[in-house]
Structure 1
Amino acid sequence: MSGMFQEIMAFVLATSGWVLESSTLSTDYWKVSSNDGSVITTSTFWANLWKQCVTDSTGISNCRDFQSMLALDGYLQACRGLMIASICSGLFGSVFALVGMKCTKVGGSDRNKARIACFAGVNFILSGVCSLSACSLYAHRITTEFFDPMFMSQKYELGAALFIGWAGAILCILGGSIFCFSLTDSFSRTGQTKSVNERPAADNSNSSRMQHFDKNVYV
């Protein structure tokens, strides 16, 4: 029962992280304009992976979508690809986790279900690593421009989407690791049951040898 509860906890953690990662992709505030050194701020600039916007003091926003994918900066293209890969890996991980968990009635034997659960854990870990890499790459670009004294354009600070993506990545990695550890527990239990089942056969063979030896002694 402890293994079943362990897998349920891993599934809740990993799927929660995948939901956070999915919401990060469409969240607006990946970076927000910095107010450092500004006395009066009449507008706020912010951007995500798909558009760049400005919001004035009345709350009206004007946005401009990135028209060309090939004309984007390399880090934006990399972040888009990593986030999409993260969401796809998390989706596959959720499906395989439902099949491989012990509380479900699909997937075959316990050994096959353990392998499927481990494969789900690998997908969740890959999803977390992709999301972590994308958010870290985007944050590295923001901090590099912010602390560069030669950069004279608009400087930005870290947006809320980055923190949501980091949180989702950590949850996915934790849940996937628990799924992978459940594989070793299942295999160890399977090995113990096999060894217990093989012992009576070995005892019977030893007894037959003793009986054969006793017959030869009296001949």
Structure 2
Amino acid sequence: MKTDSLDDYILSHISPEPDHLRRLYRRTHLRHLYPRMCSGHLQGRLLSMISAMVSPDRILELGTYTGYSALCLAEGLREGGRLHTVEIDDEMEEELTELFGSAPGGDRITLHIGDAEEIVESIDETWDLIYIDANKRRYIEYLDAVLPRLRQGGFIIADNTLWDGKVTDTETNHDAQTLALDRFNSYVASRSDLETVILPLRDGLTLIRKSERK
């Protein structure tokens, strides 16, 4: 069973949280509603490592929030690579622009403000790695929108797919977000062109690979 002491042990035995991300995490908790949406040390180091393993040239992120995950993912970009991140809340634009203008790796990030599905269609890129962490009710629509632009063998990371465990009992937990995430998980599992694994990290993290099999 996971405990606070186990969490502390894990955090003390993984790569340290970079100082600029530690400050960003604290600032998120001080200034923003729903600070739990911020990735944090463990998930951030995992995103950084996955990105480094993929060594992407182009990354797409849907759902920027305060920019923590974008900065982590950008760490793995190959030389000359770029990350495009989409945030629907226009009140975040000034803060995010300032952050990416000053934080390490922020110069490799392009910020888009607006609806994710509309912006995905407007960016003419082939993606190596995609991170989905936006409106939970639209995860299937996001997946269908990005898959044609994801290279064969490319990866998608979808956050919050266990939704605090609520997806295991949709009769009791029948709110729109839980039901949508349950449908998304079933949809991904049903597709023979996708390889997938769900990690029980925080709210659930699904790794999806666009299969190269014919």
TM interval, shorter chain, is: under 0.3
TM-score w.r.t. length of structure 2: 0.26
Structure with bigger RCO (C-alpha 8 Å, 6+ apart): 1
More strand by share: 2
Higher-Rg structure is 1
TM-score w.r.t. length of structure 1: 0.26
More helix by share: 1
